[in-house]
Each structure stands twice: as structure tokens, then as C-alpha cells.
A and B are shown apart, each in its own frame.
Chain A
Amino acid sequence: MYGTIRHEIRIERPAGQVWELAGNASRLHEWFPGIIECTVDGNQRTIVTATGIPMPEEILACDDTQRRFQYRIVTPIFKHHRGTIDVIDLGDETCLVVYSTEADPRTMAMVIGGGTAAALQELKRQIEGATRQMKGTG
């Protein structure tokens, strides 16, 4: 059976603004703590973790309409992996970002999932902080 982990966070900014960063496959390392490098070539992405381990991924979907990004890690330790980032417009100039991880072996869902929770916190910090700064300086 797969392990599944889901984390979500509400961000006090419009969905489109959040999607610009969260939906950009090549910018994951900017907001995912512990990922230090990210390169995209077609539907292939390679991330490098802070431990120096490169992790090849396949991009499965990048849907600007639904604001959904899906990928899978293709290293041999995973029999299955799927990561999904959804940015959901809440209709009040805020959005809910949901980061889901499913994996076999199931333990890897917890290992990756812990990172995704921290990533959502960082995404919120950057986007809300950045906008505040822009407002303050504008």
C-alpha cells in the first residue's frame, strides 16, 4: 500500500501570484528548504538536495488553468512516487496551497512529506513577506 501525506497552507495572496512561483518547475529550490539546485530539461527535472544527492524527476503535469503541478521522483528507491502541488483560489484574494505526496515504500512519503510541510511554510513566508515589503516600499 502507498503511503500518502498531505499538507496545506493558506496564503493571504491571490492564487495567480502564488502560482507564478509554486508552479514554476525550475524555481522549486527557491522555496523548498533542503533543495539547493533545480534544473529542467523538457519534462525532466533534476533536483539536488543539501546532502549533495541528485534526484531525477519526471514532470507529469503543469496545468496553468487548474494551477496543478505534478511530478514523480524516478530514483530506484521509489517503486512509486507522485508529488502534487495544487494552488486553489479561495475567491477572496487568498488561496490554499496543497502539497500531496504518495510513495511506495510508504516510509518515503513521510521522509519527503516532512520536507513539503517546511516548503509550504517557506512559500508563505516568501510570498506574504515579499508583498508586504513591496507595499511598504511602494
Chain B
Amino acid sequence: MGRKILFVTTDQQRFDTLGCNGGTVARTPVVDALAAHGIRYERAVPQSVVCMPSRSTMLTGQSPSTHGVWMNGVALPETAPSVAEVLAAAGYRTAIIGKPHFEPFLDAFARFAENGFARAGTFGPHRGFEHFESATHGAAGPLHYARWLNATHPEAVDMYYPVLDSSLEVNAMGGGDNGAPQAWCNNIPREWYHTDWVADRTISWLDSLPVEDDWFCWMSFPDPHHPWDPPASEVGRIDWREVPLPAGYIEKATERERVLDAKPRHWRAWYDGRMVSNYEAPMHWVPATLTADQLREVTALNAVECELIDEAIGRVLAAIAARGQGDDVDIIFTTDHGELGGDFGLMFKGPYHVDALMRLPLIWRPAASAGIGGADITPATVTRPVGLIDLAPTFCKIAGLASAPWMEGKALPVSDADADERGFERVLTEWDSELFGVGVHLRTITRESWVCTTCLPGSAHDGTEGELYNLAEDPLQQANRWDDPQYATVRADLLADLWNHQSPSKLPLRSVEAPV
């Protein structure tokens, strides 16, 4: 028997929402314990800060330019390579349970396989997963969770926040105590909520396997992505009135706007409601209207969702231990991208390559049988930059397989010394979006203590703008050094390095099939 792999992802979770990463609002003892006994990454960076491209990178081990999912709404081809196929071919039993999102959700013509399984009452196979059981942020749509809730608890369906408004735009409707967009009182019982459902279905699938089988299970929680509508019974865990404002939130509006004005123009344009570049944030919400109390409440609701995920992971780990496999399982926990979470007065996500969206929680707790505490791997904190692009080769390594030739990353380092030895120097991140005449295109390099973003020519930029932050001196990225002559050499060196390593985009770009 080999090492089993439990790959846990959340959606849109900030680095600082975990206790092990310094978070103080949510209590996350389960994931914190994984970190204490494993490897905690301090600079894990996504290759895209939106779901579909980022999840496609996790599956394929390729950058968005290579796998071709250049923005949300672009489907990953069914013929795209998949690490799940590699593992399945090696004898692993494979499943994805929860949010997949390799294909668009808004699928009026039922063209995408991902949306068809629940409709047909089937569970895959798909993309190398022999079991494919899907959920997203509520009870709407064609996925398994929505079908289950509609069939078993129809009275709960409308308790969720309506993610889209009547125009199919991301809803700006406010709720909660302060009218924050996408904050909501959800009266659904906790045991019917999608977080617990994902854990339940994961346990059920694991229990269906013969104990001698090796398995790779991607458990993919839809939270803490907005809407922030955890079960009302759990909201009282955290009193939003006592929640501190995030460090990245600049309370004084004039100072906040001064910082925004030093960034490329799309920052201030969105803040003021003059330009909406992407579908992922409510079109009819103006960030400048965000109040401190709204932010406190959203932070509290988000933290409740993080706690529920932590507890759900704990239940799954207990079930694995009950199968006698606790020592044989490698557990990797991460998310697809971050959440602005009030930094710079903004929420949701978009073309903003700063820590809020780009610094991800990533933890690898190797199987005890692999040497945790022994000679091979010891608990560690890795500070060198790594990417989600490195996950697929890591799964292969755990399974004792060579990386597939189409994978572009490297198996995650287990220490800084390992990272240095194997050349973990830089991570690249891409943004491309074109939405009704607004085109934004960014390329970013994270290297040493620097994050450097160049804004390519498009409808929003003329190609001269960018961002340059020294993370060591300016951890909140409030001082943009892009135009500072003192840093011209650093900027030129980073950009040269970026273009030396940036994969070319596959042209023509693949069609946008839907908004998301």
C-alpha cells in the first residue's frame, strides 16, 4: 500500500484567516495542528486570482497561459491533462467532492459535462476522477448538492443568499446587521449546509473503498467565498462588534485614496465605481461606500465559515483514523486564491495582485509513514515562494511517480534549504479579462521580497503602469515603488526575469463561454 492523499481546498480564503498564520478571529485548531506537524508555507502564490484558471492550474500543473483558461467563463478542455488521471493510471482510487469549477456554471445549453452528472443522477467519471460529486456556494444550479437539497430539504433552498440578482449579475444586495453586500442571515440548519455536506460525502466515499486501496481525494469546500451566509445558528460564535479591522484597511478615507492613487488606474476606478473590470464582484456595488462596521461583520461571517471548514476537516480526519489510515495519509490544505477582505477599502476580487489575493494558506502534513518526525521530512516553515502550479508534481511525488512531462512546476520543497537547492526563486501570476469592452491584462513576478506587476496595454492601461512592492519593508503593499527612480534597477531586473520565465499565451485565446 502506498500513501493516500487528501487534498483539501477552500475557495477565496485569506492567508491570515488561520491561527497558524497569525489569524486571531477564526479558531482553526485542526488545520493549525496539521501545520504544527507538517510544513507551513509562508509565500504560496496562485497563478491566477480567480477560480477557474486557478483550479485548472491545480489540476493540470500548468500556468493559465499553457492550459488556456485565461479568465473565468473559459472552459478547461475535457482533453486537458489531469493529475487525477496520472494517479488513477497508477492504481489510485480518485474523487473530487465539492466545488470543481473547471467548466462554467452558467450553462444554459447544458453543454458542460461538469454540470450534467447531477442532472443525470451520475457521479463521473470525469477528468481522471472516478467519483465526481459537486457543490457550489448555494442551492441553485445543476450540481449534486443543489439537487440533494432540493430533493430532501426543499424548504431550505431559498434560505441561502441569492448569489446572482435578477440580471444575473453578482448580487450587490446587502444583508446582516449592517447592509454589507453578500452578508446574509441563513436559517439553514448546519447539517444541511454545504460545508458539512462536502465532509459527509467525502466520508461516505472513503467508507466505500476497500481499506487496502490507495486513494486521492480532492475535498473542495465552496466557502469562505462570498456570499457570507453561514448557518445562523453559528453566527453567534463571533460578535462582529468585537472584530478588529484588518491591518490592510486604511480607516481614513483621504489616506486610503492617496494609497490607491499611487497604484495603476484600475484600482481607484473600481473603488469609485467608475469601472468594473470583471464579473466576480457585484457590478452595482461601489467599494468607496464600504463602512467599517460592514467590514467587521463580513470579517466575522467569513471567520465563522472558516471555523466550520476546520471542524468539517476534523470530522473527515477522524473518519480516516477510524479506518486505520491516519498515519498513511498525506494532507495538503490550500485555497484557490485570496479575498480582498477590506484591504485598501475593497472586498471580493479582481485584477489586484497583492497579498490579499495572492498570499495563500498552504500546509502539507506528510503521512507519518513517509517520515514525519523522521529523517526525510520534519515540521518546517518554508519562506521561499511556491505556487499552486507545484501541487500536481507534489501529488505525483507522494505517489512515488515521476512528474508528468506536461507539468510545469516542481514538487513542493520541504524546507527552505530544499527550496534553495531545487531553485524555488520566483512565482508568476497572470491576469487577463475582457468584459464588455473593458480589458485588463497583468503579469506579476514574486521573487525574494519583491512583488512586481506590469499592466499590459489594454482598454484600461497604456502599458506604462505597474506596481512594485518591497514585502519586507512594506508588508501591506501601501507604497508603490514602480515609478521611483531609486528602484528602477530592481524593477528592470524583475521584469526581465518575469519575461524570461513567462509562458507564451496560446493564441487564439479560447472563447469565453459564460460569465462564470
Contacts and interface: CB of A to CB of B under 8 A. Distances in A.
Note whether A and B form a binding pair.
yes
Interface of A: 1, 3-4, 7, 32-35, 49-51, 53, 77, 105-108, 110-115, 117-118
B351 interface: no
Contacts of B108: 34, 49, 51, 53, 111-112, 115
A107 B171 CA distance: 13
16 contacts: A34-B111, A49-B109, A50-B111, A51-B110, A105-B167, A105-B168, A105-B169, A106-B167, A107-B169, A110-B73, A110-B515, A111-B108, A112-B108, A115-B513, A118-B511, A118-B513
A115 B73 contact: no
B104 interface: yes
Contacts of A115: 108-109, 111, 513
A137 B104 CA distance: 40
A121 to B, nearest CB: 9
A108 B515 CA distance: 9
B21 to A, nearest CB: 36
B396 interface: no
Contacts of B513: 114-115, 117-118
Which 9 pairs show the lowest CB-CB distances between chains A and B? A34-B109, A114-B513, A105-B167, A50-B110, A107-B168, A117-B511, A115-B109, A51-B110, A34-B111
Nearest to A52: B110
B496 interface: no
Interface in B101-115: 104, 106, 108-111
Given A105-B167, A118-B513, 13 more contacts: A33-B109, A50-B110, A51-B110, A51-B119, A105-B168, A105-B169, A107-B106, A110-B106, A112-B108, A115-B108, A117-B513, A118-B109, A118-B511
Contact of B515 (A32, A53, A107): A107
Contacts of B436: 1, 3-4, 106
A7 B513 CA distance: 11
B514 interface: yes
What secondary structure prevails in chain A residues at the interface with B? mixed
A107 B110 contact: no
B512 interface: yes
Contacts of A51: 108-110, 119, 142
A110 B512 contact: yes
Contacts of A1: 436
Contact of A114 (B142, B168, B512): B512
Contacts of A34: 108-111
Contacts of A113: 512
A3 B515 CA distance: 12
State the majority secondary structure of interface residues on B. Answer: loop
A10 to B, nearest CB: 13
Most A C-beta atoms less than 10 A away, residue of B119, B168, B169: B168
Contacts of B511: 7, 114, 117-118
Interface of B: 73, 104, 106, 108-111, 119, 142, 166-169, 279, 436, 511-515
Nearest to A1: B436
A43 B16 CA distance: 59
B201 to A, nearest CB: 24
A111 B110 contact: no
B173 to A, nearest CB: 15
A7 B509 CA distance: 13
B109 A50 contact: yes
A51 B109 CA distance: 7
Nearest to B104: A114
Given A3-B436, A107-B515, A33 B111 contact: yes
Nearest to B106: A111
A49 B110 contact: yes
Nearest to A5: B512
A63 B167 CA distance: 32
Contacts of B279: 107
Contacts of B119: 51
Most chain B CB neighbours (cut-off 10 Å) among A34, A107, A117: A107
A35 B108 CA distance: 10
Nearest to A118: B111
A111 B73 CA distance: 9
A50 to B, nearest CB: 4
Contacts of B515: 107, 110-111
Contacts of A107: 106, 167-169, 279, 515
A108 B111 contact: no
Contacts of A118: 109, 111, 511, 513
A35 B109 contact: yes
Contacts of B104: 114
B147 to A, nearest CB: 13
Nearest to A2: B436
Nearest to A119: B109
A114 B110 contact: no
A106 B438 CA distance: 14
B136 to A, nearest CB: 16
